[in-house]
């Protein structure tokens, strides 16, 4: 049976990452999304187990101690983490699971699972990024500059990834993303069992 | 500018390699084929410079001495080789060039250009391979067995390649081949210049 794959996806605000993932997900069979475990209160409209698992701080800290998280961080007093078990299950079963994290999360996960394949979604240029982050032009310059700074700090880490998808034209970016997932299924690490199957008949 | 790529393609008789390459070539922009240099006499219908460059044995041996070949072999008194210069030119210009060689040629080229990406085209099963190599069923068993032996010896080396494309359904195999070429264009080695371009505007 084919080995599965953990796919790590990152991209700054303004990269269109969420839209690409949503559209790619509709066209890719058998790909799962990792559900993050978080400690912040549930917001209106959110459903337990849909995008997040909501747990108490005590419960989260127990998960950390037991080594049940692939990566986690604490942002303004709330924990965010990626549980390890569902990822290991999908890899064992030969499927693919997508984990959406920032550049630090990417580093931490790569350290634990070095077979993970990572994709960085990028805006096509500095100018387009600025335009996208300016919103409707009603935000003060200071706010826009802070967003730009944060996005550029993430882009500065893009070379640590295996692939870069540039989101200039949305449909092309979705095709690119899907191509990466599909061609990864053909790599030797995931297909060497086929060689054995043909040869064992000799 | 993007770095180019040398793509090495192998596959035994019965894999459908030539048909896949022909169909993929029609749908891929900017991909070149390496033209082999050979010393056997030209056959009727062959055109100099189309699939082969025809040279004398003296000329070929001079090319060997000058290190102008990526790989070569001698089969029943005739030399066959892959010239180095066109491959280096395409890589420098950011394009892709396909070299079609056997498993020994693959090993030799990988030793010289370790950034080369290699694809092995494979029949889906032992039974299908036997069926394809049996032709119209008029060949003696001995001939068919020799063909099988040679094909299986090549398949035994398939794990040395980066990717495997299984040719069960021809159209799917062509899609798979094209996916590999296109997703390789998105890998970080070939796209890191994009990151620099966005960041240099800061």
- CA–CA separation, A91 vs A161, rounded Å? 20
Give residue-wise pLDDT tens across range A174-189: 999 999 999 999 999 9
Residue B2 has pLDDT above 90, yes or no: no
Task: Compute CA distances A115 → A98, A189, B78, B119, whole Å.
Answer: 13, 9, 44, 20
Residue written as tokens 């993050």? A36
- In terms of CA atoms, which chain B residue is nearest residue A182? B179
Q: Residue A134: its pLDDT value, please?
A: 87
Q: Residue B143: its pLDDT value, please?
A: 87
- CA–CA separation, B70 vs B173, rounded Å? 28
Find the CB nearest A182 among B179, B188, B192: B179
Q: Residue B161: its pLDDT value, please?
A: 98
Q: Which residues of A touch B183 (CB under 8 A)?
A: 163, 176, 179-180, 182-184
- The B-side interface with A (CB below 8 A) comprises 122-123, 125-127, 129, 152, 155-156, 158-159, 161-166, 176, 179-180, 182-184, 186-188, 191-192, 194-195, 197-199, 201-202
Find the CB nearest A195 among B158, B184, B187: B158
Q: Kindly report the nearest CA distance between residue B52 and chain A, in angstroms.
A: 30
Q: Which of B165, B195, B199 to mutate to test the interface with A (most CBs of A within 10 A)?
A: B195
Average pLDDT of the segment spanning A94-108: 95
Residue B130 has pLDDT above 80, yes or no: yes
Q: Do B183 and A202 touch (CB under 8 A)?
A: no
HEC per residue, A157-180:
CHHHCCEEEECCCHHHHHHHHHHH
Show the tokens assigned to B26. 């029609």
Give residue-wise pLDDT tens across range B25-51: 999 988 999 999 999 999 999 999 988
A191: left (phi over 0), alpha (psi -120 to 50) or beta: alpha
Q: Residue A54: its pLDDT value, please?
A: 97
Q: Residue A48: its pLDDT value, please?
A: 94
β-bridge mates for residue B54, sequence order: B38
Average pLDDT of the segment spanning A83-106: 95
Average pLDDT of the segment spanning B15-34: 94
Residue A140 has pLDDT above 90, yes or no: no
Q: Kindly report the nearest CA distance between residue A188 and chain B, in angstroms.
A: 5
Give residue-wise pLDDT tens across range B157-192: 999 999 999 999 999 999 999 999 999 999 999 999
Show the tokens assigned to A172. 């092309």
Q: Residue A80: its pLDDT value, please?
A: 95
Arithmetic mean of pLDDT over chain B: 93
Q: Kindly report the nearest CA distance between residue A144 and chain B, in angstroms.
A: 14
Q: Which residues of A touch B199 (CB under 8 A)?
A: 126, 152, 155-156
Confirm whether pTM is higher than 0.80: yes
């Amino acid at each position: 049976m084919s080995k599965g794959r953990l796919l790590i996806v990152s991209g700054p605000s303004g990269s269109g990452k969420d839209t690409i993932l949503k559209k790619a997900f509709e066209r890719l069979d058998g790909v799962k999304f990792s559900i993050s475990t978080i400690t912040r209160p549930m917001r209106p409209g959110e459903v337990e187990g849909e995008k997040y698992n909501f747990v108490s701080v005590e419960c989260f800290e127990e998960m950390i101690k037991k080594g049940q998280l692939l990566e986690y961080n604490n942002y303004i007093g709330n924990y965010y983490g990626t549980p390890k078990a569902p990822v290991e299950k999908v890899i064992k079963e030969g499927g693919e699971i997508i984990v959406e994290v920032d550049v630090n999360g990417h580093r931490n996960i790569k350290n634990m699972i070095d077979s993970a394949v990572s994709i960085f979604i990028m805006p096509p240029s500095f100018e387009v990024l600025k335009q996208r982050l300016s919103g409707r032009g009603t935000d003060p310059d200071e706010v826009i500059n802070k967003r730009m700074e944060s996005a550029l700090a993430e882009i500065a880490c893009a070379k640590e990834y295996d692939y870069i998808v540039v989101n200039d034209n949305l449909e092309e970016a979705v095709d690119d993303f899907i191509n990466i997932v599909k061609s990864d299924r053909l790599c030797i690490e995931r297909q060497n069992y086929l060689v054995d199957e043909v040869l064992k008949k000799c």
